[in-house]
Structure 1
Amino acid sequence: MKKHHLFSSFFLLLLFTNCKNNSASRHYNIEETMEAVEAFEPLIIDEPQTGLETNTESYAEVEENPFESPNKSPLSTFSIDVDNASYTNIRRFLNDGQKVPKDAVRVEEMMNFFKYSYPQPKDAHPFSINTEYSQSPWNENHKLLKIGLQGKDIPMTNLPLSNFVFLIDVSGSMSDANKLPLLKESMKILVKELREKDKVSIVVYAGSAGVVLKPTSGDEKEKIMDAFDDLNAGGSTSGGEGIELAYKLAEQNFIKEGNNRIIIATDGDFNVGISSDSEMEDLIEEKRKSGVYLTVLGFGMGNYKDSKMEILADKGNGNYAYIDNIQEANRFLGKEFKGSMFAIAKDVKIQVEFNPKHVQAYRLIGYENRKLKAEDFKNDAIDAGELGSNHSVTALYEIIPTGVESNYIASDLKYTKANSEVTNYANELATIKFRYKKPDGDKSIEMVKTIENKSISLDNSSADFKFCTSVAWFGLKLRESKLISNSSSSAIIKLAKSGLANDEDGYKSEFIRLAETVN
Structure 2
Amino acid sequence: MKLAFIILCCFGLLFTGHSQSHYLRGEVKDESGKALQNVTILNKRTGYTYKSGGAGTFGIIQTQQKDSFLFSLPGFIEVLLYLDADKYASVKLKAASGKISNTNVPKLASFTTGLARRDQKKWFAGEETYASLVENGFINTQTYPNTGIALHVDKASYSNIRRFVNTGSTVPPDAVRTEELLNYFNLNNNDSTQTATMAVATQLTDCPWNKNNQLCFVNLKAKKLDVAHLPQAQLVFLIDISASMDMANRLPLLQSAFKLLTSNLRAQDSVTIVVYGGVTGVMLQTTSGSEKEKIYKAIDELTPGGYTPGQSGIQLAYNIAKRHFIPGGNNRVVLATDGDFNVGMRTEDDLEMLITQNKQAGIYLTCLGVGMGNYKDSKIQLLARMGNGNFAYLDSYQEAEKVLMTEFTQTLYSVADNAYLNLAFDPEYVQEYKLLGFDNKLGAISDTLSIVDGGEIGSGHSLVAAIEFVPTKAYTSLVNQKGNKNIGKIELSFRANGDTLTQHTATGIGNNYQSFDKVDSFYRTASSLIMYAGLLRQSASFKHLKWDDIIKIATEAAGNGNYLQKDYLTLLTQTKALYTKQKKKKKKKQADN
Number of the residue aligned with 1:507: 564
Residues 1:503 and 1:115: Cα distance change in structure 2 (over 3 Å) = farther
- After superposition, residues 79-90 of structure 1 pair within 5 angstroms as 79-90=150-161
CA contact (8 A) 1:191 1:218 kept: yes
Which secondary structure does the structure 2 equivalent of 1:134 belong to?
strand
Number of the residue aligned with 2:184: 113
Hey, what's the Cα distance between the residues in 1 that align with 2:344 and 2:188? 46
More strand by share: 2
Given the alignment, which residue of 303, 309, 323 partners 1:252?
323
Query: Residues 37-69 of structure 1, C-alpha deviation per residue, up to 9 Å, x if partnerless?
Result: xxxxxxxxxxxxxxxxx9411111011001101
CA drift at 1:484: 2.8
Residues 1:502 and 1:393: Cα distance change in structure 2 (over 3 Å) = farther
CA contact (8 A) 2:415 2:496 kept: yes
Could you list the runs of 5+ residues in structure 1 that have no partner in the other structure? 1-53, 374-380, 405-424
Given the alignment, which residue of 368, 371, 394 partners 1:297?
368
CA contact (8 A) 2:205 2:514 kept: yes
Hey, what's the Cα distance between the residues in 2 that align with 1:502 and 1:291? 41
Residues 1:370 and 1:318: Cα distance change in structure 2 (over 3 Å) = farther
Q: Percent of aligned positions with the same letter in both sequences? A: 39
CA contact (8 A) 1:121 1:152 kept: no
CA drift at 1:370: 8.9
User: Would you say how many aligned residue pairs link Structure 1 and Structure 2?
Assistant: 439
Given the alignment, which residue of 474, 478, 494 partners 2:532?
474
Given the alignment, which residue of 238, 241, 262 partners 1:167?
238
Residues 1:448 and 1:118: Cα distance change in structure 2 (over 3 Å) = farther
Number of the residue aligned with 1:384: 454
Number of the residue aligned with 2:550: 492
Paired residue type of 2:573: E
- After superposition, residues 157-236 of structure 1 pair within 5 angstroms as 157-236=228-307
Number of the residue aligned with 1:436: 494
Which secondary structure does the structure 2 equivalent of 1:254 belong to?
coil
CA drift at 1:402: 2.0
Number of the residue aligned with 1:461: 519
CA contact (8 A) 1:87 1:109 kept: yes
Could you list the runs of 5+ residues in structure 2 that have no partner in the other structure? 1-124, 446-450, 475-482, 581-593
Number of the residue aligned with 1:419: none
Number of the residue aligned with 2:377: 306
Paired residue type of 2:545: S
Moved more, 118-127 or 250-259: 118-127
Residues 1:148 and 1:503: Cα distance change in structure 2 (over 3 Å) = farther
CA contact (8 A) 1:120 1:151 kept: no
Residues 1:315 and 1:452: Cα distance change in structure 2 (over 3 Å) = same
Paired residue type of 2:405: G
Which secondary structure does the structure 2 equivalent of 1:263 belong to?
strand
Hey, what's the Cα distance between the residues in 2 that align with 1:271 and 1:79? 30
Which secondary structure does the structure 1 equivalent of 2:328 belong to?
coil
Paired residue type of 2:503: I
Hey, what's the Cα distance between the residues in 2 that align with 1:356 and 1:121? 36
Hey, what's the Cα distance between the residues in 2 that align with 1:483 and 1:471? 14
Moved more, 454-463 or 313-322: 454-463
Hey, what's the Cα distance between the residues in 1 that align with 2:350 and 2:272? 26
Number of the residue aligned with 1:329: 400
Hey, what's the Cα distance between the residues in 1 that align with 2:280 and 2:197? 38
Larger radius of gyration: 1
Paired residue type of 1:315: M
Hey, what's the Cα distance between the residues in 2 that align with 1:236 and 1:290? 29
CA contact (8 A) 1:236 1:271 kept: yes
Which secondary structure does the structure 1 equivalent of 2:284 belong to?
strand
CA drift at 1:426: 8.6
Number of the residue aligned with 1:352: 423
Number of the residue aligned with 1:21: none
The answer to whether residue 436 in structure 2 is matched with residue 365 in structure 1 is yes
The answer to whether residue 357 in structure 2 is matched with residue 286 in structure 1 is yes
CA drift at 1:124: 4.3
Number of the residue aligned with 2:65: none
Hey, what's the Cα distance between the residues in 2 that align with 1:370 and 1:119? 33
Which secondary structure does the structure 1 equivalent of 2:372 belong to?
coil
Paired residue type of 1:470: S
Which secondary structure does the structure 2 equivalent of 1:59 belong to?
strand
Number of the residue aligned with 1:397: 467
Hey, what's the Cα distance between the residues in 1 that align with 2:290 and 2:571? 40
Moved more, 346-355 or 207-216: 207-216
Which secondary structure does the structure 2 equivalent of 1:290 belong to?
coil
Across the aligned residues of Structure 1 and Structure 2, the Cα RMSD in angstroms comes to 2.1
CA contact (8 A) 1:59 1:103 kept: yes
Paired residue type of 1:388: G
Query: Residues 379-416 of structure 1, C-alpha deviation per residue, up to 9 Å, x if partnerless?
Result: xx974111111111110001111259xxxxxxxxxxxx
CA contact (8 A) 2:131 2:441 kept: no
Number of the residue aligned with 2:122: none
Query: Residues 402-448 of structure 1, C-alpha deviation per residue, up to 9 Å, x if partnerless?
Result: 259xxxxxxxxxxxxxxxxxxxx992211001011011122210111
Hey, what's the Cα distance between the residues in 1 that align with 2:144 and 2:529? 27
CA drift at 1:222: 0.4
Which secondary structure does the structure 2 equivalent of 1:66 belong to?
coil
CA drift at 1:75: 0.6
Hey, what's the Cα distance between the residues in 2 that align with 1:273 and 1:207? 13
Residues 1:512 and 1:153: Cα distance change in structure 2 (over 3 Å) = same
Which secondary structure does the structure 2 equivalent of 1:515 belong to?
helix
Which secondary structure does the structure 2 equivalent of 1:144 belong to?
strand
Hey, what's the Cα distance between the residues in 1 that align with 2:532 and 2:452? 32
Number of the residue aligned with 1:49: none
- After superposition, residues 13-24 of structure 1 pair within 5 angstroms as none
CA contact (8 A) 2:189 2:461 kept: no
Query: Residues 200-248 of structure 1, C-alpha deviation per residue, up to 9 Å, x if partnerless?
Result: 0000011542111111000000000100111111111011111110000
Number of the residue aligned with 1:266: 337
Hey, what's the Cα distance between the residues in 2 that align with 1:184 and 1:132? 42
CA contact (8 A) 1:119 1:150 kept: no
CA contact (8 A) 1:358 1:453 kept: no
Number of the residue aligned with 1:516: 573
Paired residue type of 2:526: C
CA drift at 1:125: 2.1
